Structure 1
Amino acid sequence: MLQQEDLNFLLTNRIPRIALTRLMGKFSQIRNPLLARASIAVWRLFTDLDLSDAKQQKFDSLHDCFTRELVAGARHVDMAENVLSSPCDAIVGACGRVVDEGKGRQLFQAKGFPYSMQDLFGPSQDTSAFQDGMFVTLRLTSAMYHRFHAPQDCTVEHVTHIAGDTWNVNAIALKRVERLFCRNERAVLRARLKSGETIAIVPVAAILVASLRLHFLDLLLHVDYRGANELACQASFKKGEEMGWFQHGSTILVFAPKGFILSPGIENGSRIQMGQALMQIPGAA
């Protein structure tokens, strides 16, 4: 098992990650139905890709398949007002309380590997709203549905783009690379719920995946993005409404303030779908 992990780590991280990510981005955009069909067939040999709930069944490019829409009703969104729903399909990684220690507000990417919220959010962001709050790490595999949605009625008020690397964010790398999420390309979306609380949604890029489309800014954030890093906005969303997508698959971290608790069944290793209850606000209507 150790030798397999070593080989996986070498193949996915000891390579020119950013160059390979750029190459994959160009390849995925080639519009050729035959090439797309052949590429998807190879992709299926290595993943559990399931397109049965895809709105479109034939694709002109790999990109179209990666960013596919679902048929209406394919996901059920928990509409309870006291529930923060999952923004995406995912496997739950580390989750729990944001620990306030001497080094600042800390959380874990894997057992025994802490990192600071300030390092993740960047020096421009105030993380005090999440002191003693709750976090959940949501890992998207390459085969999963890659669009993400509003977890509650909310208004996105600010986006911070932070340039970085494109390390693989699989379980093996999380055990070996300290502060991995703080090294990779990412965006910090600050949003205010209808009930007044502030939440944060942090999409993190990875190898082959350093592209993030945000509908409300009509902007594609990627490894070669050279625009403004601080992006003020005022974009309102209804719960379950689509916010954007990854070009492939990666990780989303969700942060909520003190008082939120994890919903039943949310624990390390759980597979969940977009719209499933992620956190709850005690005492809310």
Structure 2
Amino acid sequence: MFGLILKTFEYLTPLSTLTYLSSKLTDAPMGGFTQWLIRRFISTYKINVEECENTDLKSYKTFNDFFIRKLKPEARPIADSSTCIAVSPVDGTVGQAEDIKAGRLIQAKGIDYSLNALVGGRKEDADLFDNGRFACIYLSPANYHRIHMPMNGKLLRTIHIPGRHFPVGKRNVSHMDDLFTKNERLVCIFQTERGPMAVIMVGAALVGSIGTVWDGTVVRRSGIEVKDYSQENLMFERGAEIGHFKFGSTVITLWPKSLGDLELYMKNGAKVQMGQSMIGNAKLADANFKD
């Protein structure tokens, strides 16, 4: 019953309009008011300003300039490739991380959703990850909001799927069916030396925009858009920045089972940081130890 009430309320609430207005406000330079907002945000969410590449708060002209702040390279060390296959693409909290079973991903206890729908409905894309593994990581407003590569790879294509902007916090994840296939998202498919990998950037309420380093801010539209980058040789190293969110949201990573096993700590509720090992390799670690 609670799920039905929540769904009805949020369908009737103009979240996309509120998201649009929020993006305009947070992208506007407002002088002293912007500085007040930034300082209140730092205080409320206990942001460690010393991690920022630019610690001069007065140089941030808009709230979003600070929200998508870059960090010093040493603030997020990248796990050693000798014992790690892939790293977390973001800072956040693990929602679910496990096997994809019969084309379904777990959203929460008693709720799952379709792999095919998640990637935009194209069978050839879904087949790459069927019976593979996934990790869903939620970014709260307090988190660092730039998105990085889990492992070395070449961008093959992106699929932009327009949708709603429902909140993606724990309450909605636990009660709203198919949440991640209802919201706007950008599916980025890469080829790695170990096979295909997808990084999916899921929008949510008040997410002003999704941006990528190769194509700028994603333009919201009414239909699904597939862009082919396979001939452009867009190569990204593990840990390289590939995009950002202007406010909290979720990143879902997909890979075939042959790529490797999830680290044991990748459980519901675990806190992770960008660069931390997400897919370990026990054989590599054992070989290193013996050497």
- SS at the partner of 1:18? helix
2:265 alignment counterpart: 265
Q: How many pairs does the alignment contain?
A: 275
2:157 alignment counterpart: 158
Return the alpha-carbon distance in structure 1 between the equivalents of residues 48 and 244 of structure 2.
18
The letter of the residue matching 1:262 is L
The letter of the residue matching 1:230 is V
Give the Å deviation of 1:281: 5.1
Counterpart mapping for 1:53-92 below 5 A: 53-57=51-55, 58=57, 59-80=60-81, 82-92=84-94
Instruction: Select the residue among 199, 217, 221 that pairs with 2:218.
Output: 221
Which whole-Å deviations, capped at 9, do the CAs of 1:232-258 have from their partners, x for residues lacking one? 114100111111111112000011101
Instruction: Select the residue among 181, 200, 203 that pairs with 1:202.
Output: 200
Counterpart mapping for 1:119-134 below 5 A: 119-126=117-124, 127-134=126-133
Counterpart mapping for 1:22-61 below 5 A: 22-44=20-42, 46-57=44-55, 58=57, 59-61=60-62
Change (3 A) 1:10 1:43: farther
- SS at the partner of 2:128? helix
Return the alpha-carbon distance in structure 2 between the equivalents of residues 30 and 129 of structure 1.
41
Return the alpha-carbon distance in structure 2 between the equivalents of residues 50 and 16 of structure 1.
34
1:235 alignment counterpart: 234
Give the Å deviation of 1:69: 0.4
Return the alpha-carbon distance in structure 2 between the equivalents of residues 120 and 40 of structure 1.
34
Which whole-Å deviations, capped at 9, do the CAs of 1:11-56 have from their partners, x for residues lacking one? 9776310110000100011113311122224435653433331122
Instruction: Please provide the CA RMSD for this pair.
Output: 2.6
The letter of the residue matching 2:99 is R
User: Contact 1:200/1:256 (CA < 8 Å) preserved in 2?
Assistant: yes
Return the alpha-carbon distance in structure 2 between the equivalents of residues 231 and 124 of structure 1.
13
* TM-score for the superposition, normalised by structure 1: 0.88
User: Contact 1:50/1:143 (CA < 8 Å) preserved in 2?
Assistant: no
Return the alpha-carbon distance in structure 1 between the equivalents of residues 42 and 8 of structure 2.
22
Return the alpha-carbon distance in structure 1 between the equivalents of residues 36 and 153 of structure 2.
41
Change (3 A) 1:271 1:261: same
2:100 alignment counterpart: 98
2:279 alignment counterpart: 279
Percent identical pairs in the alignment equals: 26
Structure 2 unmatched runs, 5+: none
Which whole-Å deviations, capped at 9, do the CAs of 1:100-120 have from their partners, x for residues lacking one? 1xxxx0011111111010011
The letter of the residue matching 1:255 is L
User: Contact 2:263/2:277 (CA < 8 Å) preserved in 1?
Assistant: yes
Return the alpha-carbon distance in structure 1 between the equivalents of residues 16 and 43 of structure 2.
25
Return the alpha-carbon distance in structure 2 between the equivalents of residues 29 and 210 of structure 1.
9
Return the alpha-carbon distance in structure 1 between the equivalents of residues 160 and 177 of structure 2.
21
Give the Å deviation of 1:78: 0.9
Return the alpha-carbon distance in structure 2 between the equivalents of residues 191 and 160 of structure 1.
12
User: Contact 2:207/2:245 (CA < 8 Å) preserved in 1?
Assistant: yes
User: Contact 2:120/2:224 (CA < 8 Å) preserved in 1?
Assistant: no
Return the alpha-carbon distance in structure 1 between the equivalents of residues 53 and 183 of structure 2.
31
Which whole-Å deviations, capped at 9, do the CAs of 1:164-203 have from their partners, x for residues lacking one? 000000000111210000000001111111x241011111
* TM-score for the superposition, normalised by structure 2: 0.86
The letter of the residue matching 1:264 is L
Give the Å deviation of 1:89: 0.5
Q: Detail structure 1 runs of 4+ shifted over 2 Å in the superposition.
A: 5-15, 40-52, 224-228, 280-285
Q: Which stretch shows the higher mean deviation, 24-33 or 227-236?
A: 227-236
Give the Å deviation of 1:274: 0.3
Return the alpha-carbon distance in structure 2 between the equivalents of residues 13 and 56 of structure 1.
40
User: Contact 2:99/2:133 (CA < 8 Å) preserved in 1?
Assistant: yes
Return the alpha-carbon distance in structure 2 between the equivalents of residues 38 and 277 of structure 1.
37
